[in-house]
Amino acid sequence: MVRRLDIVVVGAGVAGLACAAALGRAGHSVTVVEQAPALTEVGAGLQLSPNAVRALDWIGAGEAVRALAARPEAVELRLHRSASVVYRMALGRAAETRWGAPYLHLHRADLLCALEGAARAQGAQIRLGLRAERAGDRRGGASLYTDAGTLDADLVIGADGVRSALRGDLANPGKPLFSGHVAWRGLVPAERLPAGLLSPRTTVWMGPRRHLVTYPLREGRLMNIVAVEEQESWTAEGWSAPGDPDALRASFAGWHPEVETLFAALTETYRWGLFGHRPLRRWSRGRVAILGDAAHPTLPFLAQGAGMALEDAVVLARALTAYEPTQALEAWERARKPRATRLQQAAARNGRRFHARVAPEQWIKAAALGAFARLAPETAQGLNDWVYRYDPTTAPV
Ligand SMILES: Cc1cc2nc3c(=O)[nH]c(=O)nc-3n(C[C@H](O)[C@H](O)[C@H](O)COP(=O)(O)OP(=O)(O)OC[C@H]3O[C@@H](n4cnc5c(N)ncnc54)[C@H](O)[C@@H]3O)c2cc1C
């Protein structure tokens, strides 16, 4: 029988709340420590692919998420000036049939709310306004040192994001590296847009050194925008900063009129410098581990960062059912690292695919991809099987 463990999780983002729900489901007692005084999320959307939805189902948040999410019919790649569709992959029912679970679009706040509900339903305690400073392994347990005292537990799990305080306790990661990309995020209320722009699909507009991803959220009441551009350095204070919609419009000037209409309706944006790390040598030591962005920050160009955090949580909970705590963390790390590394690399490659240096190069690449998808749609879809078919509820651990 599994011993009930006392587990402290640092961070109440996607990774931390998913971890709390998954570990609770596996019979453990969980306390989540979050530095923020309240649980909030940026006003932005998220794509969740079938692998992520399977994880949500296992931890008990799938139903709540399905009730709040939109199901895109397709993903389309378009050229930035002509709007020509160079590649189209069916999602909707086709995704569910091929990959065994739906592909969803969701407001981030709705995902956090569903995860918080699942975590609390499993008995997790969430302590807000408590900042973790470091974690230490001790004989038969671990301690978390916070700005308001020490918490002792059987395990400490750091889900504290790309700026993780706990990562330094496990590895010598060096400073996070600026990826050379800046992302603008914004939401446009549907009533400010012509109906034709709100079709239920993901559109990726590809242009030189830039791309734009758009999709509707909350039953088409909002349009989500993620605009990415290359930039030499990130000099803003912190990792995100208010963005000037006029600067965004200037940066994408000359793009198709649909893009201009979208940007004209935008009144508020935020900018994120996208940072990563060299792959870490280890994610765990003794009874302390890190997961989610703390362990494997991933560029958003494959829409898998949150999905990987959800997968991590489920596999960790299963490992703790199969092994003693220290062996469980080692087995979990062995099971997860190859997939996380492959996804990190694939996301970086996608960034290079979406951004051409010059227009003809972009056109040639896009035409080749589009021809492939038209001639062999099954094969083109199959390229995503390794990402979307992964099942964290049965994957070997
Ligand atoms: C522009 C953009 C678009 C994206 N789109 C997608 C997408 O479509 N699909 C997808 O799957 N992923 C996407 N991602 C990636 C996804 O957002 C992240 O991978 C995911 O949110 C990481 O969650 P996390 O919980 O690991 O980290 P975070 O969300 O960073 O959460 C960390 C939490 O820990 C807390 N914390 C930090 N330090 C401490 C401390 N010392 N003490 C206590 N608490 C602490 C923080 O306050 C925070 O609440 C995108 C990312 C970006 C930037």
The CATH number of the domain where 301 resides is what? Answer: 3.50.50.60
Structure confidence at residue 275 (pLDDT): 87
The protein residue with its alpha carbon nearest to ligand 1, atom 50, reads: 300
Q: Which two tokens stand for residue 118?
A: 């699942």
Q: Is the CB of 272 under 6 A from ligand 1?
A: yes
- Indicate which residues carry an active-site annotation: 215
Q: Is the CB of 105 under 6 A from ligand 1?
A: no
Closest ligand 1 atom number to CA of residue 294: 26
If you search the block for the tokens 């879809």, which residue do you land on? 381
Q: Is 101 helix (H, G, I), strand (E, B) or coil?
A: coil
Distance 256 CA to ligand 1 centre (A): 32
**293 in contact with ligand 1, CB cutoff 6 A:** yes
pLDDT at 365: 67
Check pocket membership of 204 for ligand 1, CB cut-off 6 A: no
Q: Judge whether 395 lies within some domain.
A: no
- Nearest ligand 1 atom, CA 52: 11
Q: What is the pLDDT of residue 236?
A: 67
Number of folded domains that form the chain:
1
Whether the CB of 305 sits within 6 Å of ligand 1: yes
Ligand 1 in contact with 292 (CB < 6 A)? yes
Q: Is the C-beta atom of 161 inside 6 A of ligand 1?
A: yes
Q: Whose CA is nearest to atom 51 of ligand 1?
A: 300
| 297 CA closest ligand 1 atom index | 19
CB neighbour burial string for 105-124, b if at least 16 within 10 angstroms, e if fewer: bbbbbbbbbbbbebbbebeb
Under 8 Å between Cβ of 279 and 292: no
Query: For residue 20, what pLDDT is reported?
Result: 98
Beta carbon of 126 within 6 Å of any ligand 1 atom: no
Centre of ligand 1 from the C-alpha of residue 290, in Å: 13
Residue 170 lies in a domain: yes
Q: What pTM does this model have?
A: 0.95
Residue 83 lies in a domain: no
Strand blocks (E) in 68-174 = 74-79, 85-90, 104-107, 125-128, 132-138, 141-146, 149-153, 155-158
Residue 133 CA: nearest ligand 1 atom is 41
Residue 298: inside a domain? yes
Is residue 52 included in any domain, yes or no? yes
CA quadruple 288, 393, 202, 255: dihedral positive or negative?
A: positive
Give 271 Cα–ligand 1 centroid separation in angstroms. 15
Q: Is residue 348 part of a domain?
A: yes
Domain assignment of residue 313, given as a range:
6-72+103-175+278-352
From 46, 181, 211, mutation site for ligand 1 pocket: most ligand atoms within 8 A of C-beta: 46
CA of 11 to the centre of ligand 1 (A): 9
How far away, in angstroms, is 152 Cα from ligand 1 center? 25
> Ligand 1: does its nearest atom lie under 6 Å from the Cβ of 11?
yes
Beta bridge partners of 210: 207, 229
Q: Is residue 166 part of a domain?
A: yes
SS3 content of the chain, % helix, strand, coil (to 5): 40, 30, 30
The Å distance, Cα 360 to ligand 1 centre, comes to 36
Taking the chain (397 residues) in consecutive chunks of 10 residues, what is each chunk's mean pLDDT? 89 98 98 95 90 98 96 92 89 94 96 98 98 93 96 98 90 80 94 88 92 93 95 76 91 96 94 87 94 94 96 98 96 97 91 67 67 73 93 97
pLDDT of residue 19: 98
Q: Is the dihedral of CA 159, 160, 163, 164 positive or negative?
A: negative
| Domain presence at residue 95 | no
Locate tokens 């998913």: which residue?
Answer: 18
